[in-house]
Structure formats: C-alpha cells, structure tokens
C-alpha cells in the first residue's frame, strides 16, 4: 500500500516543492509508467510521481499506478499553483471535485467529472494546522496566508485526495522558501522523519466537518478547523450550491428549489462518509452566506438525508 505524491514539471509551484522533497534523504528512482510518468520511492509507502502535463489533466493516476506496478494506492496528494484575484501570497490545502456541474451539459474548466466529488483525504485538517505551524516557524507568516479552499477542480481520482498549493502569482509560485515549507509538510505529514505521520484516520466515532456555504476560502469553517482535533471533509462554497429561487412567493421548500445544490450536497456527503469510515459527519452551515429561503431549503434537505447540523462547539 502506497501514498502517491503527484507533481508536474509544467508548473513551478508543483515542480519546486517536488524537487525540495526529493532532496531529502531516502529517495531512489522507481519505474516509469505509460504516458511518461516517472517515479521515485522513499521507504515502503511513499511514491512521488512526476509528469509534464497539467496537474488537473491526469485522471485516474492512482488506478494507472496500481495497474502498472501492482501496488495498491491508499491516498493521493497533488502539488499545484494557486491563483487569486487578490494576488496575495498563500499556501492552501483543499479537497477536490465538481459536484455542482451537470453531466452532459457542463464542461469542467479545470478537470474532474461533472457531478463528481473525490474522497476527501483525512489529512486535510491536520495538515492545514501543521502547515500553519511550519509557515510560522519559517517566517512566511504574515506575508503568506495559510488557508483552506473550497472543493473544486480535478483531476479524477479514486482514493482519498488533497491538493497543496502555492499562490498566488508567478512571483510566488517558484519561491524556494514556500517550496521548502511544502516539502517539509510532506516529509512530516507522511512520517518520513523520526516522527509519526500526521492525519491518520482511525475511525473511532470522531466528528468530521462537512462545510456548507460561504466563500472560496471558507472563513467561518476555518474558525473551527484551526482548532486541534477537527477533521475536514468536503467544503461546498456558495458557487458549489447553485439554487434557483422559486417563482411562487411561498414555494420555498426543498421540492420548489431547483438547481444542482441537492446533488452537490448528497455526493459530497457520501464521499466524505466513505473517506471517514466510523466517523460522524456533521454539516456546518455558514449561516450568513444564505438568504432565508436558501437556508431553510438546505436545512430541510440535510434533515431528509439524516445529516446532523452542528454549531462550532459541536466539533470539539
């Protein structure tokens, strides 16, 4: 059983931390699998895969690795650039998927499969907190914002997945100090040093946050996730919950509200539940990001799915 860390040489924010990671002890060249994907191994469980195409374009790398090598993949970590209108330097972590897009109608702008949500990697919450500590220790804070992002983009994967990104402009994508921080996150997070790996899920009934609503950087969910011990599943920002306001003034129950929002919630909940076996999935709603009719419809639908809605204190 192996963990795949995936990088592309076409992106400095991917290639630079991958090179810094490979500069650490214990690496050896591994096989090159079809389509020019080269690999490196460290110990019995970690593989770094490197290719030359866009990071969101390489679907099913986990299945392709298994077919080529016979090694079962347990999780995927992808390294990439982050862009933002603010241009603020940032280090981000997030789950992936495009559950709000319509199959046969919408074309994902950044990979993935319409209506699909990947299994979120249980390391997302613990690694965000570890990354915040590493960045602070290395003097990257406050220059860099260390944050979650909402669920978005591809590529398609079949095992628990997370992205780690460096943003937000070309000036920062190749920054060596940021790349070194990401490499150290991988080193510590995957337990390649003397310490145990970070973010191992044991399924002892622990609580897992399913974020509903808010902006792309999930500020109200972040307020919870920065506390130790909080696990994170999918984070559905407002754009991942397209809702059509009913034409009738009083027609604002679940059945009257069109759009892909219900599908987005359902598949994201199912993926989160599958990624955290034995856990209790609790929805946290960014109340201020919704109009009253939207909040009522979402709450009613969560009740239909028997998904508990929690307040911040319910996660500790």
Per residue in 88-112, pLDDT (tens digit) is: 999 999 999 999 999 888 888 889 9
pLDDT at residue 241, as a whole number: 95
Indicate the pLDDT class of residue 302, thresholds 50, 70 and 90: very high
Indicate the pLDDT class of residue 200, thresholds 50, 70 and 90: very high
pLDDT at residue 240, as a whole number: 95
Tens of pLDDT along 155-177? 999 999 999 999 989 899 999 99
Of 3, 17, 5, 133, which Cα lies nearest the Cα of 72?
3
pLDDT at residue 43, as a whole number: 82
Boundaries of every domain in the chain: 2-190, 207-315
Of 191, 243, 234, 239, which Cα lies nearest the Cα of 211?
234
- Provide the strand spans (E) within the chain: 2-8, 27-29, 38-42, 46-51, 73-83, 90-94, 145-148, 161-168, 207-212, 231-236, 280-285, 308-309
- On the question of pLDDT at 216 being above 90, the answer is no
Measured in whole angstroms, the distance separating CA 32 from the mean position of its chain's CA atoms is 27
Could you tell me which residues come within 8 angstroms of residue 155 by beta carbon, excluding any fewer than 6 positions away? 55, 56, 57, 58, 59, 60, 61, 78, 96, 111, 112
pLDDT at residue 84, as a whole number: 81
Token pair of 187 as six digits = 């080193």
Tens of pLDDT along 16-54? 999 999 999 999 999 999 888 999 999 889 999 999 999
Does domain 207-315 correspond to CATH entry 3.40.50.10700? yes
What's the rounded mean pLDDT across residues 181-189? 98
- On the question of pLDDT at 251 being above 80, the answer is no
pLDDT at residue 161, as a whole number: 98
Of 125, 205, 108, 134, which Cα lies nearest the Cα of 160?
125
Q: Which CATH architecture has domain 2-190?
A: 3-Layer(aba) Sandwich (3.40)
Token pair of 49 as six digits = 């895969």
Of 252, 234, 199, 247, which Cα lies nearest the Cα of 307?
234
Q: Are strands 27-29 and 38-42 parallel, antiparallel or unpaired?
A: antiparallel
- Residues 60 and 49 sit within 8 Å (Cβ to Cβ): no
Could you tell me which residues come within 8 angstroms of residue 49 by beta carbon, excluding any fewer than 6 positions away? 4, 5, 6, 7, 33, 37, 38, 39, 61, 65
- On the question of pLDDT at 210 being above 90, the answer is yes
pLDDT at residue 105, as a whole number: 87
Q: Distance between CA atoms of 174 and 252, rounded to whole angstroms?
A: 49
DSSP assignment letter at 244: B
Indicate the pLDDT class of residue 250, thresholds 50, 70 and 90: low
Q: Distance between CA atoms of 218 and 223, rounded to whole angstroms?
A: 9
Indicate the pLDDT class of residue 252, thresholds 50, 70 and 90: low
Q: Which residue has the higher pLDDT, 257 or 17?
A: 17
Phi, psi of 90, deg, nearest 5: -155, 155
Distances (CA, A) of 162 to 58, 81, 151, 159: 15, 13, 10, 10
pTM above 0.85, yes or no: yes
């Amino acid at each position: 059983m192996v963990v795949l860390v995936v990088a592309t040489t076409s992106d400095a924010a991917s290639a630079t931390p991958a090179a810094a990671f490979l500069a650490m002890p214990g690496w050896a060249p591994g096989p090159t699998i079809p389509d020019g994907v080269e690999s490196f191994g460290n110990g019995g469980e970690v593989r770094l895969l490197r290719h030359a195409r866009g990071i969101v374009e390489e679907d099913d790398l986990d299945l392709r690795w298994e077919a080529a090598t016979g090694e079962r993949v347990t999780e995927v970590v992808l390294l990439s650039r982050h862009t933002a209108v603010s241009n603020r330097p940032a280090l981000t972590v997030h789950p992936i998927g495009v559950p709000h897009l319509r199959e046969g109608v919408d074309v994902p702008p950044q990979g993935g499969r319409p209506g699909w949500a990947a299994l979120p990697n249980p390391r997302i919450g613990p690694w965000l907190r570890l990354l915040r500590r590493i960045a602070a220790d290395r003097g990257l804070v406050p220059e860099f914002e260390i944050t979650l992002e909402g669920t978005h983009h591809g590529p398609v994967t079949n095992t628990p997945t997370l992205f780690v990104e460096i943003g937000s402009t070309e000036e920062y994508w190749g920054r060596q100090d940021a790349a070194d921080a990401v490499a150290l996150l991988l080193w510590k997070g995957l337990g390649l040093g003397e310490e145990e790996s970070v973010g191992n899920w044991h399924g002892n009934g622990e609580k897992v946050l399913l974020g509903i609503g808010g902006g792309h950087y999930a500020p109200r969910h972040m307020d919870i996730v920065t506390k130790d011990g909080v696990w994170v599943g999918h984070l559905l920002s407002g754009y991942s919950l397209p809702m059509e306001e009913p034409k009738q003034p009083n027609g604002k129950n679940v059945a009257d509200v069109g759009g892909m929002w219900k599908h987005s919630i359902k598949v994201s909940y199912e993926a989160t539940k599958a990624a955290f076996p034995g856990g209790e999935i609790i929805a946290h709603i960014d109340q201020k990001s919704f109009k009253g009719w939207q909040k009522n419809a979402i709450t009613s639908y969560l009740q239909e799915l028997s998904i508990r809605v929690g307040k911040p204190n319910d996660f500790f």
